[in-house]
Structure 1
Amino acid sequence: MDACWVPLLVVLVAALLLRWMRPTWYWLTFGVTFAAVRVLIRYRSVMDACGLTVPPSRWRLALARVANRPVPEARSPRILWLRPTVTGLVLRLKLRPGQDAFDFSASSDRLRHSFSLHNVVSREVRSGVVELRMTGYDVLRRVRMPTVVPGEGLRVPVALREDGEVHYRDYRQVPHALNVGATQSGKSVYQRTLVAGLAPQNVALVGIDCKNGVELAPLAARFTALADNPGAAADLLAALVAYMGRVYELIRTEQRISVALPDAEITADIWDLPAHLRPVPVVLLVDEVAELALAANKAEEARRDQIVTHLVRLSQLGRAAGIYLEICGQRFGSELGKGITMLRAQLTGRTAHRVNDETSANMAFGDTSPDAVLAAVQIDKNRPGTAVAGDSSGGWSRIRAPHTTLRQAVDTCNAHAHRTPSIPELEPFRPAVPVRVLIGKVQPKTTTATAF
Structure 2
Amino acid sequence: MVTVLVLTGGGVAAVLILRRVRPSLYWMIIGGMAARIRVTWSYASVMDACGLSVPPSRARIVVARALRRELPANRPPKLLRLRKTRTGLVARIRLQLGQDAFDVMSAADRLRHSWRLHQVSVREVRSGVLELSMTGYDVLGKVHLPTRAERSTLRVPVAVRDDGVVHYRDFRKVPHSLTVGATESGKSVYQRGLVSELARQRVALVGIDCKGVELAPLARRFTAMADTPEVAAELLDALVEEMAERFQVIRAAQRISADTPDAEITSDIWGLPEKVRPVPIVVVIDEVAELLMIPSAAEKKRRERIITALIRLGQLARAAGIYLEICGQRFGSELGDGTTMLRAQLTGRVCHRVNDESSAKMAFGDIAPDALTAVLAIAPDQPGIAVAADSSGGWARIRAPRTTLRQAVAACATYADLTPDVPALAAFRPALPPAATDTDTATAPVPATA
Report the TM range for the smaller structure's normalisation.
over 0.9
Q: Which residue pairs with 2:272 in the alignment?
A: 273
Q: Which amino acid aligns with 2:426?
A: E
Letter in 2 for 1:380: A
> For the residues of structure 1 that align with 2:231 and 2:99, how far apart are their CA atoms?
58
Q: Give the structure 2 partner of residue 286 of structure 1.
A: 285
1:22-421 alignment runs, 5 A limit: 22-211=22-211, 213-421=212-420
Structure 1 CA distance for aligned equivalents of residues 84 and 198 of structure 2: 32
Indicate the larger mover: 93-102 or 4-13. 4-13
**Separation in 1 of the partners of 2:395 and 2:157?**
17
Q: Structure 1 residues 413-422 or 46-55, which shifts more?
A: 46-55
In structure 2, what residue type is equivalent to 1:87? Answer: T
1: CA distance between counterparts of 2:64 and 2:393? 45
- For 2:271, the aligned partner's letter is D
Superposition TM-score, scaled by structure 1 size: 0.94
Deviations 1:163-217 (A, max 9, x none): 1111110111111111000000000110000000000101000111111x21100
- Stretch of structure 1 that moved more, 7-16 or 238-247: 7-16
Deviation of 1:338 after TM superposition, in Å, equals 1.3
Question: Aligned-pair distance for 1:49?
Answer: 2.4
> Aligned-pair RMSD on alpha carbons?
1.4
User: One-letter code of the match for 2:74?
Assistant: A
CA distance in 1 between counterparts of 2:339 and 2:347 reads: 14
What is the alpha-carbon distance in structure 1 between the residues aligned to residue 103 and residue 335 of structure 2? 39
The equivalent residue for 2:448 is none
Calculate the TM-score normalised by the size of structure 2.
0.95
SS in 2 for 1:421: coil
The percent of aligned pairs where both chains have the same amino acid is: 61
> Greater shift after overlay, 99-108 or 167-176?
99-108
Question: What is the CA-CA distance between 1:351 and the residue it aligns to?
Answer: 0.4
Distance across 2 between alignment mates of 1:41 and 1:280: 56
User: How many angstroms does 1:440 deviate by?
Assistant: 4.7
Match of 2:174, as an amino acid?
A: V
Cα distance, 1:67–1:367 mapped onto 2, change above 3 Å:
farther
- Could you tell me which residue of structure 1 aligns to residue 447 of structure 2? none
Structure 2 residue runs of 5 or longer lacking an equivalent are 441-450
SS at 2:223's partner residue?
strand
Q: Give, in whole Å, the separation in 2 of the partners of 1:411 and 1:209.
A: 19
| Alpha-carbon separation, structure 2, partners of 1:433 and 1:107 | 57
Q: What code does the residue aligned with 1:234 have?
A: A
Alpha-carbon distance, 1:55 to partner: 2.7
2:3 counterpart of 1:9? no
Q: Please list every run of 5 or more consecutive structure 1 residues that lacks an aligned counterpart in the other structure.
A: 442-452
Secondary structure (helix, strand or coil) at the match of 1:132 reads: strand
